[in-house]
């Protein structure tokens, strides 16, 4: 089953190294194919940190996630949570 979802980026500095790494790692661990595309651009493998960073996604941009396989809805729930969270907030 293929599922798509459009998500607004929450990290105040966009998908730079740290949030991109967290996202790509979660996509890889999902065990099913997941892609991410910015606006109407070309989709890239969500498990590729270089591919994700190359999209140059900024705060407030919209991306479309697509997952294909069993558990696709749950995988997108997890990845959506990562993308909508501001990973740039100062932690104490």
Number of domains in the chain: 1
Tell me what the pLDDT averaged over the chain comes to. 93
Q: Is the residue at 12 inside a domain?
A: yes
pLDDT single digits (tens) 41-78: 999 999 999 999 999 999 999 999 999 999 999 999 99
Q: Is the residue at 69 inside a domain?
A: yes
Q: Is the residue at 40 inside a domain?
A: yes
Phi, psi (deg, nearest 5) at residue 90: -65, 135
Is 13 an annotated catalytic residue?
A: no
Work out the pLDDT band at 40, boundaries 50, 70, 90. Answer: confident
The reported pLDDT for the residue numbered 90 is 54
Q: Which of 13, 16, 59, 87 is catalytic?
A: 16
Task: Work out the angle at residue 39's Cα, subtended by the Cα atoms of residues 34 and 44, and round it to the nearest 5 degrees.
Answer: 30
Q: Is the residue at 90 inside a domain?
A: no
CATH number at residue 42: 3.30.1340.10
Q: Is the residue at 63 inside a domain?
A: yes
Q: Is the residue at 91 inside a domain?
A: no
Q: Whole-prediction pTM value?
A: 0.92
Helix (H) or strand (E) holding 65: strand 62-68
**Euclidean distance between CA atoms 25 and 63, whole angstroms:** 17
Host domain of residue 8: 2-84
Sheet with strand 44-45: strands edge to edge: 2-8, 62-68, 34-38, 44-45
């Amino acid at each position: 089953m293929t599922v798509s979802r459009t998500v607004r980026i929450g990290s105040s500095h966009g998908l730079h190294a740290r949030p991109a790494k967290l996202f790509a790692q979660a996509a890889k661990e999902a065990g099913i194919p997941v892609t991410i595309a910015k606006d109407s651009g070309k989709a890239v493998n969500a498990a590729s940190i270089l591919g994700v960073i190359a999209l140059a996604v900024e705060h407030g941009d919209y991306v479309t996630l697509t997952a294909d396989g069993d558990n696709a809805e749950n995988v997108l729930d997890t990845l959506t949570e990562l993308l909508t969270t501001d990973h740039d907030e100062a932690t104490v």
